[in-house]
């Protein structure tokens, strides 16, 4: 017997009663493939019990779905795809999609021609939404996707004025906590190894480093800053450069764990003990941080939560496009180990 209740039943109420997600309800309504028979029956029972009547216009639109989303990596230097950050995000996004019927496509984009091809591919209805990672400041791809009306979520952002939905970590706050810890250990000549200057994530971590020094009234020196590209090789190179310019350095904040690992190798090669002579802190808390010598003190960014939040926002926008973009910033945490 159909339940009598005031108001018009919603898709969310059907999903809650059936114990499934909105997307699964939509696929059942549109008779899409890839839904288990038991799940389909549960949704149909919930529809009957609530007296839900599908919106025909929405149903027509949903019927054109590809049931696929793309995770697009826009890093121009393909060597970076070997870094742990990328594999951790791919894993977390894949895990978040496990309980859905949505297929994950992994795409690499680094040239303007590849950007245009991706937009045409998406415009052709082959994917229902896109997640972008490693986006640099001048990258037009998010705007190109927005222009064709494709739901898009960024990991990070291109600037403080980002006009596309994004999920990010509190990069400046994490950097401040790392440098404040070094200051609390009595370190006074604290250097930093930054990420690429055209990436907002690197700018935020550099800003946090500077703010921590300013708040403590600590000395700062331009010679204590060197740029890397988030790779271990660049961390080694930057650390060697810093030591040659400022041998008095007694603390280092590296803007990624992989650069911190490279810095540890450079310090060892220079005969500097960690943490006795130079304390080192990284950023990310990759598994790598527990296997360096010494184990790395680092700022943990919640990569699993970032991936899951990106997926949630994208699926919600695929179901019901947001009136305005949404910005989510997740907390970081300082994890103390042996290097500082």
Residue 109: inside a domain? yes
Is the CB of residue 301 less than 8 Å from the CB of residue 275?
A: no
Maximum alpha-carbon separation in the chain: 80
Q: What is the pLDDT of residues 12-27, one digit of tens each?
A: 788 899 998 877 777 7
Same domain, 185 and 285: yes
Residue 37: the pLDDT is 84
Same domain, 258 and 194: yes
Same domain, 165 and 313: yes
CATH number at residue 21: 1.10.260.40
57-60: long-range contacts (C-beta < 8 A, 24 or more apart)?
A: 59/29, 59/30
Same domain, 187 and 290: yes
Residue 151: inside a domain? yes
Residue 340: inside a domain? no
Residue 89: inside a domain? yes
Is the CB of residue 299 less than 8 Å from the CB of residue 283?
A: yes
CATH number at residue 261: 3.40.50.2300
Residue 216: the pLDDT is 93
For residue 213, what are the domain limits?
A: 171-300
Q: What is the pLDDT of residues 306-326, one digit of tens each?
A: 999 999 999 988 887 665 678
Same domain, 77 and 136: yes
Task: Give the ranges where the chain is alpha helix by DSSP (H).
Answer: 11-18, 22-29, 37-50, 56-62, 84-96, 112-123, 141-147, 171-184, 200-215, 232-245, 257-269, 303-319
In this prediction, residue 130 has a pLDDT band, given cuts at 50, 70 and 90, of very high
Same domain, 291 and 177: yes
Residue 193: inside a domain? yes
* Total count of domains within the chain: 3
Same domain, 164 and 177: no
Same domain, 184 and 279: yes
Same domain, 50 and 124: no
The vertex-259 CA angle with 254 and 262, nearest 5°, equals: 120
- Listed range (147-151, 162-166, 245-249) with the worst mean pLDDT: 147-151
Same domain, 139 and 209: no
Same domain, 145 and 185: no
In this prediction, residue 4 has a pLDDT band, given cuts at 50, 70 and 90, of very low
Reported pTM: 0.76
C-alpha to C-alpha distance for 297 and 254, rounded to whole angstroms: 11
C-alpha to C-alpha distance for 172 and 331, rounded to whole angstroms: 10
Same domain, 181 and 194: yes
Residue 326: inside a domain? yes
- pLDDT of 3 over the 60 cut: no
116 backbone dihedrals φ, ψ, rounded to 5° = -65, -40
Beta-bridge partners for 168: 329
C-alpha to C-alpha distance for 281 and 103, rounded to whole angstroms: 38
Residue 149: inside a domain? yes
Range ranked top by mean pLDDT from 51-65, 79-93, 126-140? 126-140
The vertex-39 CA angle with 34 and 40, nearest 5°, equals: 75
Residue 339: inside a domain? no
C-alpha to C-alpha distance for 142 and 125, rounded to whole angstroms: 17
In this prediction, residue 149 has a pLDDT band, given cuts at 50, 70 and 90, of confident
Q: Which residue has the higher pLDDT, 288 or 27?
A: 288
Q: Which residue has the higher pLDDT, 233 or 54?
A: 233
Q: What is the pLDDT of residues 169-201, one digit of tens each?
A: 999 999 999 999 999 999 999 999 999 998 999
């Amino acid at each position: 017997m159909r339940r009598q209740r005031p108001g018009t039943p919603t898709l969310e109420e059907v999903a809650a009663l059936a114990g499934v997600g909105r997307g699964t309800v939509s696929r059942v309504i549109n008779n899409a493939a890839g839904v288990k028979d038991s799940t389909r029956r549960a949704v149909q029972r919930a529809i009957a019990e609530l007296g839900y009547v599908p919106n025909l216009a929405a149903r027509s639109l949903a019927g054109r779905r590809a049931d696929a989303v793309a995770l697009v990596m826009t890093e121009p230097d393909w060597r970076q795809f070997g870094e742990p950050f990328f594999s951790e995000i791919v894993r977390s996004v894949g895990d978040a999609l496990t309980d859905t019927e949505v297929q994950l496509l992994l795409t690499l984009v680094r040239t303007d021609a590849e950007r245009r091809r991706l937009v045409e591919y998406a415009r052709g209805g082959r994917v229902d939404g896109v997640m972008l990672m490693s986006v640099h400041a001048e990258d037009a791809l998010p705007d190109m996707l927005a222009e064709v009306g494709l739901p898009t979520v960024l990991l990070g952002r291109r600037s403080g004025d980002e006009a596309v939905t994004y999920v990010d970590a509190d990069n400046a706050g994490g950097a401040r906590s790392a440098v404040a810890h070094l200051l609390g250990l009595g370190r006074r000549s604290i250097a930093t190894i930054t990420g690429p200057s055209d990436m907002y994530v690197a700018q935020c971590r550099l800003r946090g480093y500077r703010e921590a020094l300013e708040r403590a009234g600590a000395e700062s020196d331009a010679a204590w800053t060197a740029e890397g590209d988030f790779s271990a090789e660049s961390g080694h190179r930057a650390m060697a450069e810093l030591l040659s310019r400022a041998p008095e350095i007694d603390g280092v904040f590296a803007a990624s764990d992989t650069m911190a690992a490279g810095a540890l190798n450079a310090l060892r090669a220079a005969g500097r003990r960690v943490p006795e002579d130079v304390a080192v802190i990284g950023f990310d808390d990759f598994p790598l941080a527990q296997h360096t010598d010494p184990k790395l003190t680092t700022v943990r960014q919640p990569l699993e939560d970032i991936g899951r939040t990106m997926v949630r926002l994208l699926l919600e926008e695929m179901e019901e496009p947001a009136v305005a973009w949404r910005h989510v910033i997740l907390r970081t945490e300082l994890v103390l180990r042996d290097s500082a």
